[in-house]
């Protein structure tokens, strides 16, 4: 089993829709969680950190479910500009050597 798994997609949704996808992790000792966004042939950029209490930033909401070992990302009122690949990142607390990136979920927003 992969340490971090994501549905590769693509998720193809109309503009204005709500879309959500998950990322599961296998190491129960994982402490820090992040969502990154990566546009085609570009570098990843931090979208948001995922805290135990959840995290909301405008149209984006991230949740952590430790019992089931997954994190989620919800995008409301999706825009064309949201089209990208979303990478989840999982790491044990304060360990730079064990940063695990998921393979990413591709999201395509259609007009």
Q: Is 96 exposed, middle or buried (0-12, 13-18, 19+ CB in 10 A)?
A: exposed
89 binds other proteins (CB under 8 A): yes
Length of the chain: 111
Nearest to 5 by CA among 24, 20, 19, 33: 24
Stretch that binds other proteins, among 13-21, 26-34, 59-67, 69-77 (CB under 8 A): 26-34
Report how far residue 83's alpha carbon sits from residue 97's, in angstroms, rounded to the nearest whole number: 30
Q: Which of 25, 34, 35, 86 binds other proteins (CB under 8 A)?
A: 34
Q: How near is the Cβ of 94 to other proteins at its closest, in Å?
A: 5
Q: How near is the Cβ of 55 to other proteins at its closest, in Å?
A: 10
Q: Which of 18, 26, 52, 95 binds other proteins (CB under 8 A)?
A: 95
44 binds other proteins (CB under 8 A): yes
Q: Which of 96, 107, 109, 111 binds other proteins (CB under 8 A)?
A: 96
Report how far residue 54's alpha carbon sits from residue 63's, in angstroms, rounded to the nearest whole number: 5
Q: Per residue, what are the HEC states of 40-76?
A: CCCCEEEEEEECCCCEEECCEEEEEECCCCEEEEEEC
Contacts with other proteins, residue ranges (CB under 8 A): 4, 8, 31-32, 34, 42-46, 49, 51, 87, 89, 91-97, 99-104
């Amino acid at each position: 089993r992969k340490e971090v798994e994501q549905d590769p997609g693509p998720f193809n949704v109309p503009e204005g829709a709500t879309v959500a996808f998950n990322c599961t992790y296998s190491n129960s000792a994982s402490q820090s969680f992040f969502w990154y966004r990566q546009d085609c042939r570009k570098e990843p950029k931090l979208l948001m950190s995922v805290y135990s209490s959840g995290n909301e930033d405008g149209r984006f909401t991230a949740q952590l479910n430790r019992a089931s070992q997954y994190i989620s990302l919800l995008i409301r009122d999706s825009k064309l500009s949201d089209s990208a690949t979303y990478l989840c990142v999982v790491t044990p607390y304060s360990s730079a050597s064990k940063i695990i990136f998921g393979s990413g979920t591709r999201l395509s927003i259609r007009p």
